[in-house]
Structure 1
Amino acid sequence: MSVTASNHKFDIEETTIRLANYIHNELGIPTIAHLPALYLTKAQVANILTALDQIGVTKILALRGDSIPDVAPQNDFQYATDLISFIKDKAPHLDIVGTCYPESHPDSPNQISDIKHLKKKVTAGCSSLVTQLFFDNDIFYDFQEKCQLADIEVPIFAGIMPIINRNQALRLFHTCDNIRLPRKFRAILDKYEHDPESLQAAGLAYAIDQIVDLVTQDVAGIHLYTMNNPQVANYIHHATYSLFKHSAV
């Protein structure tokens, strides 16, 4: 289970570390702690690494994090690669997961540039990657092939977000305008715009169909973006259990 931290929450000790400690040690569930560092100093990150180590959380999702309008960053970590290099220097035993974008990072001029930066991120110390959400598996397969051509050989986990209500879809359109929505997916949103129960059922079915296709194509694993909805995770797990026996989720 991953514990997400936002750049809008500056007190990582009271948010991510506290929750990761509960999940890892009280519930006994392996935990990945998100660490967005654009607004953190090197001293703060060093303290966070020590705290995570002390509670036994040894896997970190290292990322720059989103910029906050009118808030100046600390400038110790301009890119995720800077953070990854720092972690590897201070705590080389920690397992670092990086992020990647099948449809390119919004700030990247093109996918070639994006994959070059991704290669640097992996070289800096990422043991695996997890993608931004996507709704077209062909885009993921194309991205995966380009990574292989660039000698990016770490496992790439496919990020899947089940869309289960209209408000969730609207937030997605507002924050992720670089993501292509296939005709089939748009048809679901249009057809069930005023039918929330059918939209939820169709959204779950669409996500499960994506996962089935990915697993049969030997994807390294699936990362579910469930937005703090454990019922969604439970439903998808049971619906696809037999496929998950030999694939990480």
Structure 2
Amino acid sequence: MKIKDLYDIKKTVISLEIFPPKIDSPVETVFKTLDELKDIKPDFISVTYGAGGKAKDRTIEIASKIKNDYKIESLAHLTCISATKEEIKSNFIEMKAGNIENILAMRGDLPENPDFEFPNPLQYEFAADLIKEVREEESFSIGAACYPEGHVECESKVKDIKYLKNKVEMGAEFLISQLFFDNEIFYRFMESLDLAGIEVPVSAGIMPVLNKNQIIRMIKLAGCSIPPRFQRIIDRYEHNPAALKEAGEAYAIEQIIDLMAFGVRGIHLYTMNKPDTAKRIIGNIENIRRLQD
């Protein structure tokens, strides 16, 4: 099923994100995670390329298994900054063979290896370049990423919205947001989309904070801000891992309940491959979800 159609039949689309295991770990380890996540009955599960594009060869395999074996709709991430046209075309062929109907098209992170040799000339500069090519295939529903606080590499939020509008014009049919911890920032972002004439559905990306190192890493990578209320939680429980984990889950639940009251079109939970946390969070909003649908 095309994910774009889920937004037409669901009051709030609930989705999860997982990542492939590290290269030196068996791919089967992620299937143990999926065995538990399937009980949540999400509307779809997305599969990342992993940090810096590592383990990308496993993305299609896992997304295909989610669709064909677990009978849950899947969304395969596809990045392009270091890819050639031939590599992207090969991905399309593999995805079709695996019965994958949905792609999250992104530029992707720059390779960590400073000596990495990019295609010369560069064949994809922006996510919109890839989105246009996916649309020409006429086989996939296309998602794109959006950034409520602006992309860390973009010089202004105005330009970031301009780039986002271009993604939609090129063929993006739904958006999934970067994580954020302040819902008011997301609401202001949605107002900006409305003013820009961007009308495709948006799923709000929520990541439960489970430890202090995760917070530091997310601030560095995503540039997300920490609201005072959440900072107090971090300061109070940073030396008590069990308490911080529980408080982080509770904060995520409160965020989601508020977002659903706002009328957000979707909730996208970054699971960090922690099924116990995902099950507790979705379990706490299950009654609201059921009543809405």
- State if a TM-score over 0.5 links the two structures: yes
**In the alignment, what sits opposite 1:242?**
287
4+ long deviations beyond 4 Å: none
8 A Cα contact 2:206 2:270, kept in partner: yes
Alignment partner, residue 3 of structure 1: 47
Check the 8 A contact 2:52/2:108 in 1, yes or no: no
Q: CA deviation at 1:115?
A: 0.5
Q: How many residues align?
A: 245
Compared with structure 1, are the counterparts of its residues 63 and 48 closer, same or farther at alpha carbon in structure 2 (3 Å cutoff)? same
Give the alignment's TM-score, normalised by structure 1.
Answer: 0.94
Q: Please give the alpha-carbon distance, in whole angstroms, between the structure 1 residues aligned to 2:73 and 2:225.
A: 32
Match of 1:140 among 186, 195, 208: 186
1:5-154 equivalence runs, <5 A: 5-6=49-50, 8-9=52-53, 12=56, 14-69=57-112, 70=114, 71-74=116-119, 75-89=122-136, 91-154=137-200
Q: Larger relative contact order (C-alpha < 8 A, sep ≥ 6)?
A: 2
**Does structure 1 retain, via aligned residues, the 8 Å contact 2:177–2:205?**
yes
- CA-based RMSD: 1.6
Task: Decide whether aligned partners of structure 1 residues 184 and 7 sit closer, same or farther in structure 2, where only a CA change above 3 A counts.
Answer: closer
C-alpha contact (below 8 Å) 1:7/1:65 kept by paired residues = no
Q: Which runs of 5+ in 2 are unaligned?
A: 1-44
Offset at 1:233? 1.3
**Structure 1 unpaired stretches of 5+:** none
Tell me the secondary structure at the aligned position of residue 126 of structure 1: coil
In structure 2, distance between residues paired with 1:127 and 1:45: 20
The equivalent of 2:215 in structure 1 is: 169
Q: Secondary structure at the match of 2:189?
A: helix
Report deviation, 1:247: 6.6
Show CA shifts across 1:23-63 (max 9, x none). Answer: 21111111000001111111111111111112111001000
Deviation for aligned residue 1:170: 2.4
| 2:205–2:268 contact (8 Å) kept in structure 1 | yes
If the length of structure 2 is used for normalisation, what is the TM-score? 0.80
